Amino acid sequence: MSVLSSCKLHLIESFDEAQAFMDWFGNLDAEAAVGVDTETTGFKWHGSDHVRMVQVGDGIHGWAMQWDRWSGLFAAAMKLHEGPIDMMNAKFDYPFLRKGGVLLPKSQIRDVGVMAHILEPHMSRALKNQAKRHIDPQANALQWRLDEAIGAHGGWTWATVPCDFEPYWSYAALDPVLTYLLSEHHLPTVQEQAPYAYELENAFQWVALNMETLGVPVDVEYAQLHYDKFMRYCEEVEDWCKHEYGIKPGSNAAVVQVLSRAGFEFSKATASGAVSLDKEVLGGIEHPLAKAVLQRRQLQKIASTYLRFYVEHVDSDGRIHPSINTLGARTSRMSMSEPNFQNLPVRGGNPGIKVVRNCVRSREGYTLVFADFDQIEMRGLAIMSSDQGLIDAFNRPEDFFVTIARNLYGDTTLEKSDPRRQPTKNGMYAKIYGAGIQKQAVTAGVSYDVMRFINDSLNIAYPGVERFASHTLAEALSRASGDSLGYTTCPLTGRRHYAERGKEYALVNYKIQGWAAALFKQKLLEADAAGLDPYMIIPVHDEIILEVPDSDVRDVVYTLHKVMNDDKTYPVPISASVATGKRWGEKKEWEE
């Protein structure tokens, strides 16, 4: 029999139904858990979107109530509640409820989405998909029914479907029931396998929410100025191409034809078989048309993807509130959207690259402070491989990759500017990411033979790395059986990182990335506890950015050094470089 067939779903529309809800709520055990969920008009709590319905339930009963009419009822019930509050993606629902005037106690919230990511990082965390796997195969039946009903109506959306429409409110009322049941299913396993991983992630989401709430300061006038400038350039290139060559710069076929007549040959093709005109191809052609097309393409993307977004999405205080997904990757690395500040262009000859970062500017009387882990993945590799050569390299005063390159080439005079350092660095990171020699050679700009020499030399000089990789792979394969996937565990949190069958080699990367992600979150929690929460505005990979009053910069830098650096826990020191600046693209290393 279906587990959910015994569920009782209710829509509160009258005072009698409200009383029935309070009677049910009052009869719960004092320490009993309840599931809580919301239905909203959209996803942007910091904009005009708001709560439409709020739902409460346990394993049997699910109650849905329209927010505009019954938010006071919900608030009164939650004020009386002393037990756990189970939510799916609490970082989404909490700010919407806060916006509506209801503050749930964070200490009581248990996030089922966090539990699911820790236990099944390789599978969908969507509530209905999880419930279908673990609670009832029919768990998504109401969603199908609602989708069909909304589609049949034609004019409704998820923001406008009437709250008393039965497929809608019953779908909504079921969500806290499923959340409650999934918590009962997941929590014991999480507590057995990786309790610290859950504690860390459940706590860190509130630090991330605080950063989302603070937002990132943007120089809107600067962004608009350069948007207009770049778009004018794109129009000028368009006119120039038409006048000089009779073509449009956006037509790859026409550009290839002109360049072919000029004597250039093309060997790279797209997946469809057409001639490729990507940035590598265009960048390698010494011709004014190729340079103009590449420049136009890059500036057009920068203007439309970043600068226009900055201008159109700032709030009244000139700040943007990106969405931070604290568990964006299966390794628990964070991801970001609207905008993705983690994916801004970093380097290259294009003049727009620095502009994108420079749009992020501190307010008058404030300074941006940056704290970035130093080579954290390499340090993780040294720690987990226990290779004494790598450990010793991190305990030497000179640059880590200079030390490695000197060892490989037997040249103690080799300096940081030496061209042999970069391919050595590529070879080291390939030990984590698993890139092939040919790809490493292309990335580093050296021949295959040079890259092969570096890889062979690394294996000889640092044998612990290969042993670590082989052990991780063998361990994962021994754990894979039947439907069970191979996995490795994070040495910091104990959580499992799973690999798709046949791709167990990726677990070296997952293990190191997972450790680095957990360490970063741990340090940001410590920074929050040290009083830096009013200043932290955005995490970018292994870097935290803060906006600090000028008078407090020295104290904040001191605190960051204390929090982010650690020379006692591991055989190699964990360190972070600190920089400051008024604009992101103009930061400079901090000097006393």
Closest CA to 45 of 165, 175, 170, 215: 215
DSSP 574: B
Domain identity same for 389 and 336: no
- Residue 245 within any structural domain of the chain: yes
Q: Are residues 349 and 381 in the same domain?
A: no
Asked if 401 and 522 sit in the same domain, the reply is: no
Structure tokens at 298: 């890059």
Same domain, 54 and 188: yes
Q: What are phi and psi of 539, to 5 degrees?
A: -95, 135
- Same-domain pairing of 179 and 30: yes
Is 343 strand, coil or helix? Answer: helix
**pLDDT(3) > 90:** no
Give me 339's structure tokens: 């905008």
**Based on the domain organization, do 413 and 542 belong to the same domain?**
no
Return the pLDDT at 270: 83
Dihedral (C-alpha) 178, 184, 189, 190: value to the nearest 10 degrees? 80
Residue 346 within a domain: yes
337: in domain = yes
545, part of any domain: yes
**CB-based contact 401:424 (threshold 8 Å):** yes
Q: How far is CA 417 from the centre of its chain?
A: 33
User: Are 377 and 516 within 8 A, CB to CB?
Assistant: yes
Torsion from C-alpha of 263, 269, 272, 277, nearest 10 degrees: -70
- In this predicted structure, what is the pLDDT of residue 350? 67
Is 249 in contact with 238 (CB distance < 8 Å)?
Answer: yes
Question: Is the pLDDT score of 148 beyond 80?
Answer: no
Write down which residue in 509, 525, 557 finishes a domain.
Answer: 509
In the three-class reduction of DSSP (H, G, I as helix; E, B as strand; rest coil), residue 36 is classed as: strand
pTM, 2 dp: 0.92
pLDDT at 233: 94
SS3 of 348, please?
Answer: coil
The answer to the question of residue 311 being in a domain is yes
* pLDDT of 349: 59
DSSP secondary-structure letter at 372?
Answer: E
Nearest residue to 370 via CA among 554, 544, 550: 544
Q: How confident is the model at residue 237 (pLDDT cuts 50, 70, 90)?
A: very high
Q: What CATH number corresponds to the domain at position 417?
A: 1.10.150.20
The residue range of the domain holding 385 is 377-509
CA-to-CA dists, residue 344 to 129, 177, 213, 339, 448, angstroms:
33, 41, 21, 9, 30
Helix and strand numbers (H, E) in the chain are 23, 17
From CA 269, how far away is CA 271, in angstroms rounded? 7
Amino acid at 105: P
**Percentage of the chain exceeding pLDDT 70:** 97
Least Cα distance to 360 among 547, 534, 548, 560 occurs for 547
In a domain, 434, yes or no: yes
| Residues 477-527: tens digit of each pLDDT | 999 887 789 999 999 999 999 999 888 889 999 999 999 999 999 999 999
CATH number, domain containing residue 113: 3.30.420.10
Give yes or no for a contact between 475 and 485, defined as CB atoms under 8 angstroms apart: no
Q: Is the pLDDT of residue 143 over 80?
A: no
Average pLDDT (274-298) is 89
Distance in angstroms (rounded) separating the CA atoms of residues 71 and 62: 16
Q: What's the whole-number average pLDDT of the chain? A: 92
Which of 294, 325, 360 is the last residue in one of the domains?
360
Letter string b/e over residues 50-65, b meaning 16 or more CB atoms within 10 A of that residue's CB? bbbbbbbbbbebbbbb
Sequence-ordered list of residues with C-beta below 8 angstroms from that of 520, at least 6 positions apart, any chain:
373, 376, 539, 542
Query: Rounded distance, CA 519 to CA 200, Å?
Result: 10
Give the pLDDT confidence score for residue 347 in this predicted structure: 62
**Confidence (pLDDT) at 284:** 86
Final residue of a domain: which of 308, 334, 360?
Answer: 360
30 and 146 co-located in one domain: yes
For residues 300 and 439, the model is more confident at 300
Q: Compute the average pLDDT of residues 370-378.
A: 96
What distances in angstroms separate CA 380 from CA 182, 331, 573, one per listed residue?
34, 14, 10
213 is a domain residue: no
- What was the pLDDT predicted at 524? 98
Q: Is 139 exposed, middle or buried (0-12, 13-18, 19+ CB in 10 A)?
A: buried
Whether residues 226 and 336 fall in one domain: yes
475 and 567 in a single domain? The answer is no
Number of domains in the chain: 4
187's tokens: 């929590």
- Across the range 299-318, mean pLDDT stands at 92
**Same domain for 398 and 351:** no
Q: Could you tell me how far CA 223 lies from the centroid of its own chain?
A: 24
In this structure, the answer to whether residues 520 and 459 fall within a common structural domain is no
Residues 437 and 493 in one domain: yes
- Is there a domain that residue 211 lies in? no
**Token pair for residue 78?**
């939650």
SS3 56: strand
The pLDDT of 248-260, averaged and rounded, is: 91
Please state, in angstroms and as integers, the Cα–Cα distance from residue 485 to each residue in 473, 477, 497, following that order. Answer: 12, 8, 10
Where do runs of H (alpha helix) occur along 250-334?
252-261, 279-283, 288-301, 308-313
Q: What is the DSSP letter of 363?
A: P
CATH of residue 295's domain is 1.20.1060.10
